[in-house]
Chains A and B, each alone.
Chain A
Amino acid sequence: AQKITQTQPGMFVQEKEAVTLDCTYDTSDPSYGLFWYKQPSSGEMIFLIYQGSYDQQNATEGRYSLNFQKARKSANLVISASQLGDSAMYFCAMRETGYSSASKIIFGSGTRLSIRP
């Protein structure tokens, strides 16, 4: 069954340190996409990074990179040089193409990241 698991409910990190947020997934669909979103206290959902199941290289977007290990079904988000503004909830999500027309997108339970000055 399709599932996203985030095992870290909360994390505290010192400013300027790198941080890894864990995400594992389960799907039987060979073609899928993985996303990370940030949700600050304002509540808006901000898209951070995308990784396709057939992408050969790990995705990078500025300070964000995705450590994609397909065999282990993991898609961890790495934030380099963390900043105070990185304090937020982070969600991992997966999109499948198992449906002929529709897309199903599911999310994990999230990780609340707090950056210490």
Chain B
Amino acid sequence: DVKVTQSSRYLVKRTGEKVFLECVQDMDHENMFWYRQDPGLGLRLIYFSYDVKMKEKGDIPEGYSVSREKKERFSLILESASTNQTSMYLCASLNSGTGLRNTIYFGEGSWLTVV
């Protein structure tokens, strides 16, 4: 089974801190994603990546950056955390494979509270 592991389930950080959210997948998937989930807004795409060569901004990249130095690891970085970044963050991975049918696999989520 595909496993997507997010290193921290619950974090509490102070405003202005630099925050790292780590995500590792064990199935050699090329595509990885970071979303945030907020009530009434659904899942919003922050960044996505294809292997270590490419990182692309999603729909809400402001205040975030990413790192993908190894294919299996995709990190989300909050350079200076703010209270409006309090949210649940979901990492996901996807095998490009052939066709569009391949489904996306999610981690368990990281609940971040910025105080």
Contacts and interface: CB of A to CB of B under 8 A. Distances in A.
B74 interface: no
A102 B50 contact: yes
Contacts of A44: 106, 108
Interface string B67-105: 000000000000000000000101010101001110110
B66 to A, nearest CB: 13
Contact of B42 (A97, A105, A110): A110
A62 to B, nearest CB: 16
A70 B90 CA distance: 30
Interface residues of B, number: 32
A99 B56 contact: yes
Contacts of A99: 50, 56
Nearest to B32: A102
A109 B42 contact: yes
Contacts of B88: 43
13 contacts: A9-B40, A35-B103, A44-B106, A47-B104, A52-B101, A101-B50, A102-B30, A102-B48, A102-B50, A103-B50, A104-B45, A104-B58, A105-B94
